Structure 1
Amino acid sequence: MAAHIQKHRDARAQGHKNVGKLIPLYRCLSEWFAFIFFILVVFGGYCPAQDTGSASDLEQMRISTIETKGNVTISTAKILSTVRARTGQLFDADSATEDTRRIARIDGVEYAYYNTAVAEGAVKLTFVVVEKNLVRQLVFNGNKQISSGKLAKELAFKQGDYLDVFLVRDGIGRLTELYHKRGHAFVEISLDEAGLGQGLVVYDIKEGPRVKVRQVEFEGSESIKSKELAKAIKTRSRKFLFWPVYYDQQVISEDLTKLQDVYQKKGFLDAKIDVDSRFSEDNKLAYVRFAIEEGPVYTIEQIIISGNEFFDDETLTEGMKLQVGGFYSKERGDFDRRHILSRYLERGFVDAQVRHRRSFTGPGKVTAQFEITEGKQFRIGQVIITGNESTHDKVIRRILDEEDFAPGQWFNADIARGDGTGELEKTVQRSVLAESIFIKAAGTRRDRRDAQVGIIEGQTGSVMLGAGVTSDSGLIGNLVFDQRNFDITDWPRSFGELITGKAFKGAGQRLRIALEPGTVQDSFSISFTEPYLFDKPVSLDVAGSSFERYREAYNEERLKGYFGFEKRYKDKWRRGVSFRVETVDVARLDGDAPKEIRDVKGENDLLGARLYIRKDTTDSRFTPSTGYHFNAGYEQVGGDHTFGILSGTQRWYKTLYQDLADRKTVLEVKLHGATVVGDAPPFEKFYAGGTGSLRGFDYRGVSTRGLQYNPTTPIANPERKDPIGSDWILLGNAEVAVPLTEEVISLLFFVDSGTIDSGGVRASVGTGLQILIPQWFGPVPMRFELAAPLMKDDEDETRVFSFSVGALF
């Protein structure tokens, strides 16, 4: 019998799995003998067996039977379907060898070879398959603090997979890293190598104590206070003021890098920082010490700019952070390099380059040099858009036009950087909800460069399910359908297009449908927005909504239709006009509802037209830190009631302080004033109190109040109980948000004040927490506030604690 072995290495898995193919040989051979055997197999191709004749003799015979041996988990049918040998064919040694290679490519096969035997003048062909070993059992011994299930999730394999010894050994490092993250600095993990041959993977774990950080100190920090340095790092003795922090060497290494960066940014270019950790005798407590050698502060002796012809030195240095006599840092140098480069890029110098160098001219002295290569100036040629399968070209072009990025304009390569980081690229990406947008300069014309706009489209439609609870409005559910690339003219050509979302898509319009049932109020709305009416920077908004809420003495239901136009200007000002048609139903009155409420019982039809202006210069929609927001307008209302409403709101945001971890302490100041012109019904007047108004007072707890009244049964000694609204209101709020140990939590301090047409000035002070966890609760922060009224009227209703929490599912 001749035995032919073909070790097929070419089809094995990638990376370190190539070596792992020899693992099953360890079951019966030592490593050296396995290696020798492998060499013989690969380079010899044969394994000596019973000699039944030469290959040339066998190739004169036909194959009588084809069998398989050695396969346990892989079916014979699957193996035989892979080979090309067939009964009745003449035997061919080369073809049989190639068949073993095909078998070796089957997932789960370690290697394969064939045997031949002669019977009754024919060849019996047997393919012998050696399967990979399996992970038959996965065991963790000694783990008490972390469950076996969590440990298993850290591994790159699972029970039932083919056993890869390298992945198994790699698991020691993975498990150790997990334990280190949990604070088990002295964990020891070993692997039972003896069991691998039987598919038994056993990790023996000595967890050791979970080490708490008891103390963090800074030695040698003279120029920067230890308190400030502590804010820049993650290693500390307490988290969120109360919870312990556990020792993690990886985090400490990152903190060391962070501290180096802090000193570099302050001009301490020679600063050296080492870290030393000591442990208590029982290894349960860690004492971390950062030893600092600050060295001198490097100051700028001279700033040299060269290569500039289009701009003079004075123009380029305006706005730079590096100043003669000030300290030098690489961060500031890089900022100024980008600042100078931006001046050129925004004026069409697409190929401009700026190189920044520093040279040391003496002890603690630096000369900062900026070498400029201006290149040529280009205007925009054609705008070529690619990649937009659903979004119409004009949707993107009109955004570019509004930003003055159109043919004939200077090619502003500062806002169109070609890598997706330019402000124009971000604007287009936000507007069309693309995954990415790249605007690159292309072409070879002498004075023009085409703008190549590459878009990778994203998901523009969504269905969101959420819930929220607030002290003002109770529990509110939220079901929202939102399509941000809607096309009202793109009707479906088939039912399939409607179901798959291919219809009504591509024009950059927005359709939003929201259902918000709640325990205190219910609402439903549907809105449509065309952001570029007639391809101009004018938006059209059309909406319909219903709203129901039980007020203090009655039930209020609103059914509203709305449409409006708003024009956007390049200086961020906007002006608009809007119209509403609304029916307000006042029903289910309390028995002692004031006469002012009874006078408007039933349906009240309103027609309103409003003119307004607004401007927003803030840097964030949800958590602004700089800029302001202004909104003012006048609405004239007719119908069953005739009156006007004049209102205005101004909000300012300013960063008071930014710590070494780049966390910002932000001041917000708000002024709001409004007045009724004429005689408005109670449901259109003004009320104060609650979140966003006067904290420390109940929702609508500050208002003129009406006397209890019953037209059929007079009330003895009536009181002014229920609010009926005020004809005018003036509010002032100031709030400081101070980030705590984590970026997601800020401590709030605030003062609220206000006055209405009855009573005196109201005022309150308070504190609270703001928590921002976008991945759990969406972009709107949660707020928990405690407030105490300092000045109030006897009829006001107060509330010490207020909150708002929301989440998307």
Structure 2
Amino acid sequence: MKRVTDDTRRRSAWQRIARFVAGFAGVACSCVALAQEPFPTMEALSGNSRAAFVDREAPLSQSGNAKLPGQVPSGIQQTEFSVENLLDEPLVDVVIEGNKTILPNAIMRYIETRPGRVASSRMIQQDVTALYNTRWFLSVRPFYRQTEAGPVLVFEVVERPILRSVQFKGNKKVKSSELQAHTGLRRGHGFDVAANLESVERIKQLYREKGYRFAEVILEKGGSKDDRDAVFLITEGPKVKIGDVNFYGNSFSRDGVLKTKISSKTAILWLIGGDYDPEIVRNDILALKQYYMNLGFFDVQIEAEEKFYDNNAKVAVNFKIEEGRRYRVREIDVVGNEVIGTQRLLSDLKLSRKEYFNARFLREDVNEMKDQYDDLGRLFATVEPTPRFLEDNPGWVDLVYQIDEDVPRYVGQINIHIRGENPHTKEDVVRLQASRYLIPGTLARGRDMRMAQARINGSGIWDRADPPTFDIKPTSGRDYFPSIATRGQSEDVTIEFTPRERTSLQETGASTVQIPESVFGHSGLTPFASETPKPVANPTPVGEIPAWNGRDQWIQQSGPSAPPSQVQPTHSGETSRPSLGLDPDMVFRGQSEPMLAPRGQSINGYGQQVPQDYMQGVSPQGDPFGDALSAQPPGFVDVNIDVTEGRTGRLMFGVGVNSDAGVVGSLVLQEDNFNILRAPRSFADIINGQAWRGAGQSFRMEAVPGSQVSRYMVSWQDPFFLRTDFSLGVSGFYYNRFFRHWTEDRLGGRLSVGYVLNRYWSVNTALRLEDVKVRDFVTPAPADLEAVRGDNFLSTGSVTLSYDTRDNAFVPSRGNNLDVTYEQGFGEFNYPRFDVSAGQYFTVYERPDGYGKHILAITSQSGWTGDGTPIFERYYAGGYSSFRGFAFRGVTPYEGNVEVGGNFMALGSVEYMIPITADDNIRTVLFSDFGTVEPDEGFDQFRASAGFGFRLVIPAMGPAPLAFDFAWPIMKEESDRTRVFSFYIGFTR
């Protein structure tokens, strides 16, 4: 080809060809491709750094045909060019061609290639992508044009039609700006008929989400390719509210109970909530089916019918239910068990023979069986219930528990990972929380795993939205055994490891350990059922049975029923069976084949197989085979604990009122991940939240001013003082109380040391030092009150033993609690003191779904203190928290008209709680309180009262219920002060 410019560098043609092949072949190929084929789609270019969607308004040219800068004047002839020469030369210009309405300068803002530079294929591709992302063009084609001055890069574009205006008509409930943002249509953007039609559906969907189910949208303009405006005509219609929810055909459960199982609710006071959504109604059908199937109604059929009225502004949702028969359990059997006998597994079933099927009881039974294997370290043992129906015996179901017993496993490494880029918390905080229950080399018991997880979850440090997870990884444990140095011995030699032996395992300091896929075929198994919620891959609602098409989806078998001992599990060739809907944390599939004990072997106390030694007692040398016939060694598990730091600092405001203390306010600053040794090293530590954080300690400041009582306190606690299981707490406080006959001020501090003995037992010791000021009492006063006038220094030491098995701290329904305290005063006041409080809780009745509990509570508190006890430390009773029917401190010995307290107290209460609403948020209580406060031991002045009350739970106001009680004294003393109504209301945010 003819050369257009001189080669000033005097290079040979061969050098140019080599340079072209080595460095710039891609440019020539891309130019040819772009000139002959459509440019790649946006999806193909989405990986480019500038390929993100850019929705921009096109600057419109007034003339409609812009002058293109850089075009060669008509008097200059354009010639062909040599590719080799072109690629070595900088561009003399970059021009736009084909634009009719968009200004060239606006287009050039998105082009990085500039005159005076040598162009590259990558830069050109980026420019083309950026132009496509503006959505101004249907096509963009780059090519080179050679001129006398040098090469010119040309972008030939074909413009999209431009949208001149967007208009919404008839919309009153939704603003036009919101509709425009929802559709994405804007003036100056590309006109697209398909986008306009899609916007019609988007607007309809937006109205549906807002409750306007009958909204209609018509595209008046913008449906033709010749249009340049988009006009939407909207008929909003009424906002549909659920006016009524009805159930027909239900005889087992009343309407109020069924309403607690669905999400479709009527509006509160015709204003709040009650929006109608047909998708929610469909989900309600599934929820109702699961509720019935959980209770054994496997043939239940439910459908919903919606009836609109009041000009389509309201809808009545009618659920039509065919409950069918409720199934009973006929026979129960266990297969696959060798280590634990069948009689032991079935000894204490909640779901027993002849009882109605109940998924909740079934889940508890599976948990109980699994716990028995967990206690033997067989973490991956599975218990899977299989239902069997018989056609000739309708209404009955057989249950077969299929068990894979696994092998005993021991704790291997404990690996801690704190999620996030810059965590504040030390790994030792997590390790100390788990170290009491997870010790490398010890038997990996499921109970210990659950306790460790419960302890970590309950610390309050970790994010509740992303709670801590325990990843239990099975491993062979080969690296944990002592090395085998015997020459010629195989690495696969069997090593007997009895539960009484201990390895020299040390806790790893690594934060993460990569564990390969195990022989189980998967990793990350969670082999135990935690008592606290934790994430699962595919969560199933607790207490729910996954929806199925009725019992016909399960296995049916005709013929005579088999006796219990002959009930067999389903074989793989039969129709697949669904799960009974147990918590996925309890049942694990895809695990290794069961390792059953050979016939004739016995089982030791840890569930391991013990080979028979037929030479024992015969050969004086013992077993001639030594350890060669040892049982298969147990496995190991590595415990990977992942946690995410939560917002541990809280500033809380609250207000409360009760009949004993009047009105009180509350301002609390609390940090649950405090570090008293982490002082700020710079101002950046304070800004980044590094200062005073990361050790898992607790720091709290509170101010509680009130009309009758005020308290101000600062406290600090370390739950693992000096890396031990002992907790250390220090607090300082100021307390003021206006009593009926004097005013009391307390300024002091408290030092406490605690220790958790096990899941239920704990012990705590405390040293209390206070300056107690008694003032503002009328003289003449009793001698005991006059003796403590002014300031008094009180010093005591105490020890408390606590036991607690309650299932809920605020509204317990099962379990009991016990606190026994001995306190000794010394110094200015020398006296002994014993206090005992206890409670026992029973569930007398509950619905089959576990709600609607009738709870019987029996509680008591008693105490005795020595003769040297000052008047401000004696016993008083009366009020909502101790003796209802009497005023605060209305039960006490008197001297004259002054309450002086007693040295002996014995109080008891019996309370029966009944739910009023089906969701248990409103309950009524019937109660009787009784007891006495005496100067000395005895029951000379016994009192009793009886009454009723209400408990109201409002989730937004916290877990503690609001209490309103009415009580009347049955037995009382003449000097007692009574009060019929007592209450407690609290609110914290």
Matching of residue 428 in structure 1 with residue 456 in structure 2: yes
TM-aligned CA distance change 1:492 to 1:73, over 3 Å: farther
Equivalents in 1 of 2:767, 2:141: separation in Å? 86
Matching of residue 208 in structure 1 with residue 397 in structure 2: no
Secondary structure of 1:262 counterpart? helix
TM-aligned CA distance change 1:95 to 1:55, over 3 Å: farther
- Single out whichever of 224-233 and 468-477 deviates more from structure 2: 224-233
Equivalents in 2 of 1:204, 1:12: separation in Å? 38
Q: What is residue 372 of structure 1 aligned with on the other side?
A: 403
Equivalents in 2 of 1:264, 1:475: separation in Å? 49
Question: How many residues were matched structurally?
Answer: 749
Contact 1:574/1:614, CA 8 A, preserved across alignment: yes
Question: TM-score when scaled to structure 2?
Answer: 0.65
Q: What is residue 860 of structure 2 aligned with on the other side?
A: 671
From 789, 799, 808, the equivalent of 2:968 is 789
Equivalents in 2 of 1:74, 1:704: separation in Å? 97
**1:315, CA displacement in angstroms?**
1.9
Q: What is residue 645 of structure 1 aligned with on the other side?
A: 833
Contact 2:81/2:146, CA 8 A, preserved across alignment: no
Equivalents in 1 of 2:168, 2:148: separation in Å? 53
Paired letter, 2:875: F
Q: What is residue 408 of structure 1 aligned with on the other side?
A: 441
TM-aligned CA distance change 1:174 to 1:761, over 3 Å: farther
Paired letter, 1:261: Q
1:385-784 alignment, distance < 5 Å: 385-387=416-418, 390-403=424-437, 405-413=438-446, 416=449, 422-431=450-459, 433-434=461-462, 435-445=467-477, 446-459=633-646, 461-471=648-658, 472-497=660-685, 500-533=688-721, 535-570=723-758, 572-589=760-777, 597-659=785-847, 662-665=850-853, 666-705=855-894, 707=896, 720=897, 723-741=899-917, 743=919, 745-757=921-933, 761-773=943-955, 776-777=956-957, 779-784=958-963
Secondary structure of 2:458 counterpart? helix
Contact 2:331/2:353, CA 8 A, preserved across alignment: yes
Contact 1:11/1:105, CA 8 A, preserved across alignment: no
Q: Deviations over 1:143-174 (max 9, x none)?
A: 56xx6599879959799998976884554454
**1:542, CA displacement in angstroms?**
2.0
Q: What is residue 72 of structure 2 aligned with on the other side?
A: none
Q: Deviations over 1:451-484 (max 9, x none)?
A: 2322223136313221212124344443333333
Matching of residue 113 in structure 1 with residue 302 in structure 2: no
Contact 1:135/1:158, CA 8 A, preserved across alignment: no
**1:615, CA displacement in angstroms?**
0.9
Q: What is residue 98 of structure 1 aligned with on the other side?
A: 125
**1:130, CA displacement in angstroms?**
6.2
**1:678, CA displacement in angstroms?**
1.0
Equivalents in 2 of 1:460, 1:494: separation in Å? 22
Paired letter, 1:683: F
Paired letter, 2:246: V
Structure with the bigger RCO (C-alpha within 8 Å, sep 6+) is 2
1:184-203 alignment, distance < 5 Å: 187-190=214-217, 192=219, 194=221
Secondary structure of 1:431 counterpart? coil
Q: What is residue 303 of structure 2 aligned with on the other side?
A: 274
Q: Deviations over 1:90-112 (max 9, x none)?
A: 789x6885254242365776666
TM-aligned CA distance change 1:124 to 1:517, over 3 Å: same
Secondary structure of 2:442 counterpart? coil
Q: Deviations over 1:406-461 (max 9, x none)?
A: 22322225664xxxxx4532322323723413241343235341423222231363
**1:213, CA displacement in angstroms?**
3.4
From 412, 436, 439, the equivalent of 1:381 is 412
- Single out whichever of 459-468 and 384-393 deviates more from structure 2: 384-393
- Single out whichever of 454-463 and 201-210 deviates more from structure 2: 201-210
Secondary structure of 2:320 counterpart? strand
Contact 1:705/1:723, CA 8 A, preserved across alignment: yes
Q: What is residue 343 of structure 1 aligned with on the other side?
A: 372
**1:593, CA displacement in angstroms?**
7.2
Paired letter, 2:221: A
Identity over aligned pairs, percent: 19
Paired letter, 1:428: I
1:195-344 alignment, distance < 5 Å: 204-208=234-238, 210-214=240-244, 216-219=246-249, 221-224=250-253, 228-230=257-259, 232-233=261-262, 248-280=277-309, 282-283=311-312, 286-328=315-357, 333=362, 336-344=365-373
Equivalents in 1 of 2:922, 2:372: separation in Å? 37
Paired letter, 1:85: T
Q: What is residue 555 of structure 2 aligned with on the other side?
A: none
TM-aligned CA distance change 1:788 to 1:249, over 3 Å: farther
Structure with the bigger percentage of strand: 1
1:175-186 alignment, distance < 5 Å: 175-180=206-211
Contact 2:53/2:133, CA 8 A, preserved across alignment: no
Equivalents in 1 of 2:102, 2:926: separation in Å? 70
Paired letter, 2:338: E
Secondary structure of 1:256 counterpart? helix
Contact 1:240/1:741, CA 8 A, preserved across alignment: no
Secondary structure of 1:763 counterpart? strand
Secondary structure of 2:284 counterpart? helix
Paired letter, 2:704: E
Equivalents in 2 of 1:449, 1:134: separation in Å? 68
Q: Deviations over 1:248-307 (max 9, x none)?
A: 544433332233223212222222223334455755665544333333333333333222
Equivalents in 2 of 1:202, 1:592: separation in Å? 89
Q: What is residue 804 of structure 1 aligned with on the other side?
A: 985
Equivalents in 2 of 1:687, 1:148: separation in Å? 64
Paired letter, 1:568: V
Contact 1:755/1:761, CA 8 A, preserved across alignment: yes
Contact 1:240/1:740, CA 8 A, preserved across alignment: no
Question: TM-score when scaled to structure 1?
Answer: 0.78
**1:397, CA displacement in angstroms?**
3.9
Contact 2:260/2:918, CA 8 A, preserved across alignment: no
Equivalents in 1 of 2:327, 2:952: separation in Å? 39
**1:705, CA displacement in angstroms?**
4.9
Contact 1:213/1:246, CA 8 A, preserved across alignment: no
Secondary structure of 2:412 counterpart? strand
Equivalents in 2 of 1:632, 1:781: separation in Å? 25
Contact 2:91/2:153, CA 8 A, preserved across alignment: yes
**1:558, CA displacement in angstroms?**
0.7
Equivalents in 2 of 1:74, 1:696: separation in Å? 87
1:64-213 alignment, distance < 5 Å: 64-66=92-94, 80=108, 83-88=111-116, 98-104=125-131, 113=140, 123=152, 125=154, 141=170, 143=172, 148=175, 168-169=199-200, 171-172=202-203, 174-180=205-211, 187-190=214-217, 192=219, 194=221, 204-208=234-238, 210-213=240-243
- Single out whichever of 443-452 and 750-759 deviates more from structure 2: 750-759
Equivalents in 2 of 1:167, 1:632: separation in Å? 72
Secondary structure of 2:130 counterpart? helix
**1:494, CA displacement in angstroms?**
4.5
1:29-68 alignment, distance < 5 Å: 63-66=91-94
Equivalents in 2 of 1:512, 1:110: separation in Å? 63
Equivalents in 1 of 2:185, 2:869: separation in Å? 71
Paired letter, 2:248: F
TM-aligned CA distance change 1:761 to 1:353, over 3 Å: closer
